[in-house]
Amino acid sequence: MAKAKAPRRPLESCTIKHINKTINAGDCVLMRPADQSNPQYVARIERIDADARGGNVKVLARWYYRPEESIGGRRQFHGSKELFLSDHYDVQSADTIEGKCTVHSFKSYTKLDAVGNDDFFCRFEYNSSTGAFNPDRVAVYCKCEMPYNPDDLMVQCEDCSDWFHPACIEMTAEEAKILDHFFCETCSSKGQKKLQNSHAASRPSDTKVFPIPRPSIHFR
């Protein structure tokens, strides 16, 4: 007869001794990759448990994927610190946790005064089997009608409130950075004086959307 597994007990938190950090369920963490040449994995801790003696601590990790790890790959509008919250879960040893990090909402990330090494953002949930995203469409901006990439400089029209990439309005990034006001070509044609804009302001209303295509499924 097979020996029954000893019951495990849930923990509210655990201390990772090698980094001297306390981890709670719901925290986002950096985890050791199998290949040390790869960047650290990012996960949200869903559950923590230990054996009857309080040792052999395990965590249930819900993985975040980087755009290049998704079926569709990285696209132009993906930010350098963008992650997708996946439906992929694994039980891992707590010893594989190498640090804590923060995964911000897209809105809160764009309002950060400075982005640290351990700051990331998420605006999509990702189905790791089908490559589908939720939501499956996002607002678009500029003449190029692309979703907003927080790593790209944009300027805002003071009349219609749309945002534009400097290159799309025949302007260099250096020129855009020193402007105080801006009216886009459409609004200027209405007879308004063309000025130049500061790129810091509230986000425009979501009037146009970009459908996120579901890529053909392939196996890696």
Element (H, E) at 85: strand 82-93
Q: Give the whole-angstrom CA distance, residue 36 versus residue 38.
A: 5
pLDDT digits (tens, 9 = 90+) for 121-141: 999 999 999 999 999 988 899
96 conformational bin, left if phi > 0, alpha if psi -120 to 50, beta if neither: alpha
pLDDT, position 208: 53
Which CATH number among 3.40.50.11540, 3.40.50.720, 3.40.50.2300, 3.30.40.10 corresponds to the domain 153-195? 3.30.40.10
Q: Give the whole-angstrom CA distance, residue 54 versus residue 10.
A: 10
pLDDT, position 197: 40
- Phi, psi at residue 99, to the nearest 5°? 170, 170
Contact present, 1 and 19 (Cβ < 8 Å): no
**Which residue ranges make up each domain of the chain?**
9-134, 153-195
Contact present, 44 and 62 (Cβ < 8 Å): yes
Topology of domain 9-134 in CATH is: SH3 type barrels. (2.30.30)
Q: Give the whole-angstrom CA distance, residue 135 versus residue 127.
A: 11
pLDDT, position 187: 87
Positions of the chain with pLDDT under 50 = 191-207, 209-210, 212-220
Q: Give the whole-angstrom CA distance, residue 199 versus residue 215.
A: 33
